[in-house]
Structure 1
Amino acid sequence: VLGCNAAYNRIGGLAPGERNVISGNDSEGVNMMDVGTSHNLVIGNYIGIDVSGLVGLGNRGWGVAIQLSASGNVVKQNVISSNERDGVYFGDAGSNYNTLIGNLIGTDAGGTTPLGNGEEGNGVLLGAALNRVEGNVISGNAGSGIGVGNLYDNKGNFILGNCIGVEASGTSVVGNAWSGVYLGGTRRNFVGGTTSSESNIIGGNREGISAAANSGYNFIGGNYIGTNAEGATGLSNQWAGITLQDHTAHNVIQGNLISGNEGEGVSIGEGSDFNHLRANLVGVTVDGVSPLPNGADGVRIEAASNTVGGMYPEDGNTIAFNSGDGVMVRTYSRNAIRRNSIYSNTGSGISLADGGNNSLPAPLITAVLSTSVSGTACPGCIVEVFSDEEDEGRVYEGYAVADGTGDWTWTGSPSGPYVTATATDEAGNTSPFSAPLMVWRKWIYLPVILREG
């Protein structure tokens, strides 16, 4: 089906007999192109599979292509699978304001069996701006589930409420061979959102979300990465849950559940600076307390000037039960780790390696009373005080500022049983946790008086 300068047409439908089977063609299944091609609806079709919805019969090009400034079109509730190139392609800077909603892309008509697109094609390739990919199952494809590539001015796309690498119910794996979502040289996109209906379920892929090639200013929020749709059991991505690499900077990772992955929860590589991780659950289930560990560090940073947590109470991450360190910082400096709940990780709560964070030493706690904690640290450093059952920092208690000689005192009643502390210097380097010290409490023992009769 080819649409050039065509508007307000409908291809297919949801009523009996309205479905088209658009398969086995030498080029695209549906190709909408040119500036006048707008407000068309492609709905309820089988594109690249046979009439049973169970057997691949791919088109030799894209399943659906929207390109050359075609805009404002809707592709809804189709099965788009087994095509030789990407399942759906949005191309060039003018192909904006299109919507892809409620489709099965890379599976059979039941949404459970892989019939992937492309020898290395993606389920969806976004090379344009201001498009919306919402409520689809994008699984079983030979490349990434969704690729947002630096083809044109491809910013401001919304990727919301999809099952990516899992089947339609979000309970078992139908993985994509590469990343669930790949952001390559693209900016100001939204992967997930702030409401439950906007959460993407991303599991069973090589990586959950991968950003590279100078991607920046993207928002990754509210997703379930490595878990089922209930956030209770693992649907592991094979590597990290989220990877930022190759100068990927100024991204916000907020409010995600990042657990059950085989590698790190979050991995930030060289040159990927000024990213902010806030209010995420890393290594636990959606209840925030039950273990669902990642197979390596909770957060691994090999870059500079990133922030894990923040200055405000709502910024703190929970990073627990991971099979490596809670947070590992290697080589690079100015990575602030503030106001988090970090506990029960196999390695250290916070580890600095190869000069990471300038090897800032941990504070020394010299006294723990029922009403205060005091000690020494680097002069002028912010000292954060925590309670924990071991030697990490499960409960953030508060902070103090070390004076010019390094002395500090926090006034309050720590919950214990042990107290630890971190220091953050003026450059934004955070230390490991201090050695723990037990809370000392006063006890008053009253006499027991026995009287006869």
Structure 2
Amino acid sequence: TALFTVNSLDDNDDGSCDVTHCSLREAIAAANAAPGHDTIEFALGAITPTITISGSLPALTDPVTIDGSSGGSSRVALDGSLATGDGLTLTSSDNVLRNLVIHSFPGSGLAINSDSNLVAGSIIGLDHNGASDLGNGSYGILITDGSFNQIGGSDPADHNLISGNDHSGIRIDNLAASGNIIQGNFIGTDSSGTSAIRNSNYGILIFDSPDNIIGGTAGVTVGGPCTGACNLISGNGANGDDSGIFIGDQEADRTQILGNYIGTDVSGTLDLGNSRDGIILYTYTGNGRGGPDFTQIGGTSPAERNLISGNNRYGIHMRADSSGTIIQGNYIGTGVHGTSALGNSQHGIYSTNSKTTVLGGTAGITVGGPCTGACNLISGNGANTNYYGAYFADGIDGATIQGNFFGLDVTGTQPLGNSGYGLRVEAQSNALVGGDTPAARNIIAANGISGLHFTGGIDGSNPGSVRGNYLGTDVTGMVDLGNVGYGLVVRDCYNCLIEGNLASGNSAGGIYTDH
């Protein structure tokens, strides 16, 4: 191993890195030539030194640690306004990049084509202060054919700020790029997490890449600001076209999205919505491929909860021939405390052509008490009555919807209605809403139309069932918190099983059926 010290702000290369002159370009070349894991440090004398790059820097072909906080500076900035291509390119594995500012490159800020690298404590796409947009011309970070990379971490010193880039903040691409971890970053905001400085496309884009993790539970402050492994993914997308997180196409399986704030400010109390959806699962129509399978959004522990609120279209959008999606324990359309509305502008959840989705569950449910465990709190969504808490449309196989609150606050005792239906389920063969145990009960109350609109199987051969829910009351079943329409509307539901529901206190009546 060797230590190379950058002592010049210029971008010249005279063929050697020594005490009289060593530019970053020369230090990278020297580290590439030296065996073992080397270190590049800086002795530039300035508090906020900036190195203006001309041309392209050499790729990192041998493992190295580059730490921009050395030599008395806060972070060393790499200004790519005169450069070509990407900022730093990693083709070797096991590199560590810390405390850098990387902005204004015509390509991506970082291009990672290797495994097990760490990017921490850096600002990508903004100035030293994290306040002014100096975005890179493509992605903030692009990972192709690289696995087990970590972007950020749960320690505050590891958090990255990735904003202002002309494409997405982070893109992970290809089947060979798997098992990457994105934690503790601000993506689409300024350094305070209170103002948007958007990445022009998605905050995070994962395409045909499996087994990636967005967020986590370490250091998460339940009910407080976005800390620890929590990613703040807000403010992204231009002209209403793009979303916070995009998970796309057949190979993007088993993504875990845990403990993030998506569409709010860092406090979780104010709207800082992504221009379209909070999360979208997608497959390109007509390409003959399926969508991402076995995506996990949230979990049964409070630290796994995602806050998905304030987005300008849907909170979660499943527009994919995907299967096995699990959505548990999230707050969708409320503030971080679950007591006030911070709605997504259209549906809280919108699903088309998604198979065997699980929304909620029975694990960790507090029967007769607040929304805990697998319970999703889906309230406060929709700018008008055309939009619902959750809408499952055009389905081809069943959804299981259990243990959720639609239209109430987290205590289950106060109204926090969605503008339209609390829940609408159409043409879902074998759909199950509720169940035979108290823990499976959905509480659907205080919504702007009816509580639940339910249509049975596509051809009547695989009917659905609605069992054991409270429709129009609080969580105890004793207090009137009626929906504006009916508690339950059942249409075209041949051989459906409707039993054991409490429908009470609703303005138009308890249950309406056309058969």
Range class of TM-score, shorter chain: 0.7 to 0.9
1:162 aligns with 2:260: yes
Query: Do structure 1's residue 49 and structure 2's residue 126 form an aligned pair?
Result: yes
Tell me: CA distance 1:44–1:2, structure 2 relative to 1, closer, same or farther (3 Å).
Answer: farther
Letter paired with 2:74: G
The change in CA–CA distance for 1:89 and 1:387 in structure 2 (over 3 A counts) is closer
1:31 aligns to what SS in structure 2? strand
1:297 alignment counterpart: 421
Q: CA distance change for structure 1 residues 176 and 331 in 2, over 3 Å: closer, same or farther?
A: same
- Whether 1:216 and 2:323 are equivalent positions in the alignment is yes
Contact 1:10 1:42 in 2 (8 A): no
Alignment deviations for residues 300-319 of structure 1 (CA, whole Å, 9 cap, x no partner): 12222211112222111110
Report the CA distance shift for 1:10/1:136 in structure 2 as closer, same or farther (over 3 A): farther
Residue identity in the other structure for 1:248:
S
Aligned identity (percent) is 32
**2:471 pairs with 1:342:** yes
Residues 405-452 of structure 1 show CA distances to partners (whole Å, capped at 9, x for unaligned) of: xxxxxxxxxxxxxxx7x8xxxxxxxx7599xxxxxxxxxxxxxxxxxx
TM-score computed with the length of structure 2 as normaliser: 0.67
**Structure 1 residue 103 corresponds to structure 2 residue 239:** no
> Residue 192 of structure 1 aligns with which residue?
298
State the alpha-carbon separation in 2 of the partners of residues 177 and 271 from structure 1.
Answer: 26
Find the partner of 2:236 among 123, 136, 141: 141
How far apart, CA to CA, are the structure 1 residues paired with 2:486 and 2:320? Answer: 31
For the 8 Å contact 1:10–1:40, the answer to whether it is kept is no
2:255 aligned with 1:178:
no
Asked whether 1:233 is paired with 2:328, we answer no
- The structural deviation recorded for 1:163 is 0.7
Aligned partner of residue 197 in structure 1, secondary structure: helix
Query: Within 5 A, what are the aligned runs for 1:24-423?
Result: 24-33=104-113, 37-76=114-153, 77-118=159-200, 121-127=201-207, 128-134=209-215, 135-142=230-237, 143-150=242-249, 153-184=251-282, 185-205=291-311, 206-245=313-352, 247-254=353-360, 255-262=375-382, 263-304=387-428, 305-330=430-455, 332=457, 333=460, 334-343=463-472, 344-353=482-491, 355=492, 357-358=493-494, 383-384=499-500, 386=502, 388-389=504-505
Question: Hey, what's the Cα distance between the residues in 1 that align with 2:319 and 2:406?
Answer: 22
Q: Deviations over 1:129-179 (max 9, x none)?
A: 1111111000000111001011x5111111111110101110001110111
**TM-score when scaled to structure 1?**
0.76
Q: Which residue identity lines up with residue 312 of structure 1 in the other structure?
A: T
Q: Which has the larger strand fraction?
A: 1
C-alpha contact 2:470 2:503 (8 A) present in aligned 1 = no
2-side partners of 1:311 and 1:289: how far apart? 23
Displacement, 1:68? Answer: 1.4
Q: 1:130 to 1:11 in 2, by over 3 A?
A: farther
CA RMSD of aligned residues (A): 2.6
Shift of 1:75: 3.1
The residue type equivalent to 2:335 in the other structure is N
Aligned-partner residue type, residue 384 of structure 1: G
Point out where structure 2 has 5 or more consecutive residues left out of the alignment.
1-56, 76-98, 154-158, 216-229, 283-290, 361-374, 473-481
The gaps in structure 1 that reach 5 residues or longer are: 361-380, 394-419, 423-430, 435-453
Contact 2:107 2:136 in 1 (8 A): yes
Shift of 1:331: 6.9
For 1:16 and 1:285, locate their aligned partners in 2 and report how far apart those are by CA, in whole Å.
Answer: 47
Q: Does the CA contact (< 8 Å) of 2:293 and 2:325 recur in 1?
A: yes
Letter in 2 for 1:287: T
AA aligned to 1:153 is E
- What SS is found at the alignment partner of 1:183? strand
- Contact 2:466–2:498 (CA under 8 A) maintained in structure 1: no
Secondary structure (helix, strand or coil) at the match of 1:122 reads coil
1:17 Cα shift?
2.1
Query: Aligned to 2:136, what secondary structure does the other structure show?
Result: coil
Q: After superposition, what is the alpha-carbon deviation per residue over 1:53-95, rounded to whole angstroms, capped at 9, x for unaligned?
A: 1110000111011111333434341110010111011111121
- 3-state SS of the aligned residue for 1:112? coil
Q: Which moved more, 1:68-77 or 1:181-190?
A: 68-77
Q: Which residue of the partner structure matches residue 286 of structure 2? A: none
Provide the rounded CA distance (Å) in 2 between the counterparts of 1:385 and 1:329.
13
* Partner SS for 1:70: coil
